[in-house]
Amino acid sequence: MPGNLSFEELKARVANREIDTVIAAQTDMQGRLMGKRFQAEFFVEHAWQETHGCNYLIATDMEMFTVEGYGATSWAKGYGDYVMKPDLSTLRLVPWLEGTALVQCDVLDHHGHAEVPHAPRAVLKAQVARLAAHGLTAMVGTELEFFLFRESYDEMRDRGYRGMTPISPYNEDYHIFQTTKEEAVMRAVRTGLQSAGIPVENSKGEADPGQAEINVRYADALTMADNHAVIKNAIKEIAWAQGRAVTFMAKWRHQAAGSSCHIHQSLVRDGTPAFFDPAGSHGMSALMRHYLAGLLAHAGEITWFLAPYVNSYKRFTEATFAPTKAVWSQDNRTAGYRICASDGPAVRIECRVGGSDLNPYLAIATQIAAGLAGIEGRYDLEPEFTGDAYKATDIRRIPPTLRDATTALRESAMLRAALGDAVVDHYVRAATWEQEDFDRTVTDYEVARGFERA
């Protein structure tokens, strides 16, 4: 199970007064944990069965603004409740919070108790079920990058998010001495996640001052998404507790590198790697070739789920290790889709398009949907790209703006067939609102550039 605490163990720890608080949380559209802190005695007596949360939790923007235009929720419909149903297989200790456990919840309709189809966890579960009908299981790893700063969140807010200082002063990619400067936070992250039931592989410095990456063990798709949501929240909480701040913005400063979330993925059948064929080119099976062809054919349509904000598209810059072209290549970091561990059972696809601001459930779900389209349609895989994809012309581009990605999402017949019209329309509204809100906002760039000279 993804958690590390059974319900019986929880009850024993509550009785022994080791645990006094249980967080029950769903994941919102932005990938954040939203829910309640229960007195542990009440949780083990009653709330373990269900609790409730306002249905606007999966129909708001980053600011929790009640956005008009959603079919599922509105002022006219009264913003009623959804059921939050704890999935007890996700029950885990939270070592960085005293006396606390966490359980992740499914979101159900208050009346019929069916899963709400546009809830991020439900979106992923639906695609996992589609794969299961083919006898396949998706295995996934998400590599999450972020920037760590000397200042606290409160200090940054008070100074208007200006003059922020990365915790190290120069490029720290793989740099042991540089990463020693952030080890107080990163050691607490690694050991905290490990003790919370999330098997950690490593942390490392990344390609700019203060940039770090955390890597955890490959897992099935739903477990990986659940873990990812906890990891992101944990890093923020642990940094906050030490008077530091982190950001998961895809591009926090235009001179700095972007922060990615590379998604490694493969399929297994009856425990056997389904992507591997020793006789295939690069060890790729026919199934893997169809799956990869689906990812490429529908790359534009699924981009919004990998890059959901205006800021996300600032990351797609040449010669920054962020891709600009949706092509595939073997062990080539200029391509949007890279084949890793070729010619062996661990052969897999790395999608390099996603930023650290993505929602893991939605991103993984739409990768599976596109891959399944390739499998079911027996798509032919285009020739491998070789060389510098940044400089190549007349090849498939990643949508360069939120507007372009939103249009591709809206017009996607594949996603409408895979997710349903209502789910696609829900997320199209999230995308259009993000653009509308940005378009009417005066930015610091405009003021600094035009205040005197315009």
Residues 100 and 156 in one domain: no
Amino acid 112: pLDDT? 81
SS3 label, residue 294 = helix
Residues 11 and 93 in one domain: yes
Please list, in sequence order, all residues whose beta carbon lies within 8 angstroms of the beta carbon of residue 246, skipping any fewer than 6 positions away. Answer: 146, 147, 148, 149, 235, 236, 239
Q: For 90-144, write each residue's pLDDT tens digit.
A: 999 999 999 999 999 999 998 888 999 999 999 999 999 999 999 999 999 999 9
Residue 9 CB-density burial (10 A; 0-12 exposed, 13-18 middle, 19+ buried): middle
Residues 232 and 187 in one domain: yes
| Phi, psi angles (nearest 5°) of residue 11 | -60, -40
Mean pLDDT of 273-282: 96
Q: For 174-215, write each residue's pLDDT tens digit.
A: 888 888 889 999 999 999 999 999 999 999 999 899 999 999
Residue 16 resides in a domain: yes
Amino acid 171: pLDDT? 83
Residues 142 and 101 in one domain: no
Mean pLDDT of 362-388: 97
Residue 450 resides in a domain: no
Please list, in sequence order, all residues whose beta carbon lies within 8 angstroms of the beta carbon of residue 212, skipping any fewer than 6 positions away. Answer: 145, 146, 147, 148, 172, 179, 182, 186, 203, 204, 205, 206
Amino acid 364: pLDDT? 98
Contact 278, 337 (CB under 8 A): no
State which residues form the domain around 98: 7-116
Residues 201 and 168 in one domain: yes
Q: What is the average pLDDT score of the chain?
A: 95
SS3 label, residue 105 = strand
Residue 84 resides in a domain: yes
Residue where the block lists tokens 């606007």: 56
Residues 86 and 156 in one domain: no
pLDDT > 70 fraction of the chain, expressed in percent and rounded? 100
Residues 280 and 400 in one domain: yes
Residue 452 resides in a domain: no
The yes-or-no verdict on residue 272 having pLDDT over 80 is yes
Residue 429 resides in a domain: yes
Residues 336 and 206 in one domain: yes
Of the candidates 116, 149, 176, which is a domain's last residue? 116
Could you tell me the CA-to-CA distances from 352 to 272, 284, 336 in Å, in that order?
25, 19, 5
Range with lowest mean pLDDT among 23-27, 106-110, 299-303, 425-429: 106-110
Residue 276 resides in a domain: yes
Alpha helices in 134-252 (DSSP H): 153-158, 176-180, 183-195, 221-241
Amino acid 110: pLDDT? 85
Residues 19 and 134 in one domain: no
Residue 451 resides in a domain: no
Q: What is the CATH number of the domain that holds 104?
A: 3.10.20.70
Residue 165 resides in a domain: yes
Q: What is the CATH number of the domain that holds 370?
A: 3.30.590.10
Q: For 313-340, write each residue's pLDDT tens digit.
A: 999 999 888 999 999 999 899 999 999 9
The total number of structural domains that make up the chain: 2
